[in-house]
Amino acid sequence: MGDANVLARVLDWMPFVLTGFGLNVLMSLLAIAIGTAVGTFLGLGQLSQPLIIAVPSRLATQLFRNAPWLVLLFYCIFLMPYQVGIGGSVIVLPSWLRATIGFSFPVAANFSEIVRGAVNSVPRGQWEAAEALGYGRQSTLFRIILPQCVTRMIPPWMNLYALLLTATPLSVIVGVEEALGRTQAAVQALSDSRMLIPMYLALLAMFFIYAWPINRLSLMLERRFRTK
């Protein structure tokens, strides 16, 4: 069996694996969206003065930031119901969706820290100047501090996304049919040990080709914002 033959057999299975990869991308996009939205609230919560908001926000952030992603995933898969009834209709929650929610927790916690760090990196003088001009705490945050933070938050946010994407194959353990699961299935179907390494190389390449430009872009943006 020649190299060309190996390549041809890998390519044969690519549509099957790529469909699974589509699920990885979908899960990552949904999880970053949910995580960013929730993380924004958590981050602003961490920064707020009333302790009744600040303390739970800090606790949640620390809890989900320091828990292994896989453990959070298990929690979501096994503790969340298989279906939820909204009104009269019953919505089935497929395992990939429950896994997505599982990924959203650590993403939210990490983004919460990105928000807190970015806000705290704005010099104190900005707050004081705003205060001296009659701005209250909230309008200072929204009109003066946060607009300066957005550019600082984009590079770490993109890194977080790349990290999230590379974590999505964890969901194979809870039975989601994503790229890793499908590669395993393909290797079994091929039942040829010589195909093992090429198939997993193809899988690696898939993730790399998707995630690497994101990391490069985030690095580039980081440099650009730093010099400004």
Partner 1 sequence: MNASSSSQPLISLRGVRKSFGPFEVLRGIDMDIRKGEVVAIIGPSGSGKSTILRTINGLTPINDGVIMVGEIKVNDPKVDKVKLRHRVGMVFQQYNLFPHKTVLENVAMAPIQVLKEPRSLVEERARKLLGEMRLPDKADSYPGELSGGQQQRVAIARALCMEPEVILFDEVTAALDPEMVKEVLAAVRKVAEDGMTCILVTHEMGFAREAADHIYFTDKGLIVEHAPPAEFFTRASDPRTKEFLSKVL
- Given candidates 133, 188, 191, 209, which one binds partner 1 under the rule CB under 8 A? 133
Measured from the CB atom, is 85 or 134 closer to partner 1? 134
- Residue 105 and residue 73 in contact, taking contact as beta carbons nearer than 8 Å: no
Q: Which of 218, 31, 16 is nearest to 106 (CA)?
A: 31
Instruction: Output phi, psi for 80, to 5 deg.
Output: -80, 145
- Given candidates 143, 216, 223, 224, which one binds partner 1 under the rule CB under 8 A? 143
| Least distance to partner 1, CB of residue 224, Å | 13
Residue 125 makes contact with partner 1 by CB under 8 A: yes
Coil, strand or helix at 21: helix
2: alpha, beta or left? (left if phi > 0; alpha if psi -120 to 50): beta
DSSP 144: I
Measured from the CB atom, is 115 or 172 closer to partner 1? 115
Measured from the CB atom, is 50 or 136 closer to partner 1? 136
For partner 1, the binding residues in 2-61 under the rule CB under 8 A are none
What separation in angstroms does the CA of 124 have from each of 49, 128, 191?
16, 6, 63
> Between vectors from CA 9 to CA 6 and to CA 12, what angle results, nearest 5°?
150
Binding mask 83-102 vs partner 1 (x if CB under 8 A, - otherwise)? --------------------
Residue 138 makes contact with partner 1 by CB under 8 A: no
Residue 144 makes contact with partner 1 by CB under 8 A: yes
Residue 147 makes contact with partner 1 by CB under 8 A: yes
Instruction: Output phi, psi for 53, to 5 deg.
Output: -95, -45
| Least distance to partner 1, CB of residue 23, Å | 39
Residues near partner 1 (CB under 8 A) are 123, 125-126, 128-136, 139, 143-144, 147-148, 228
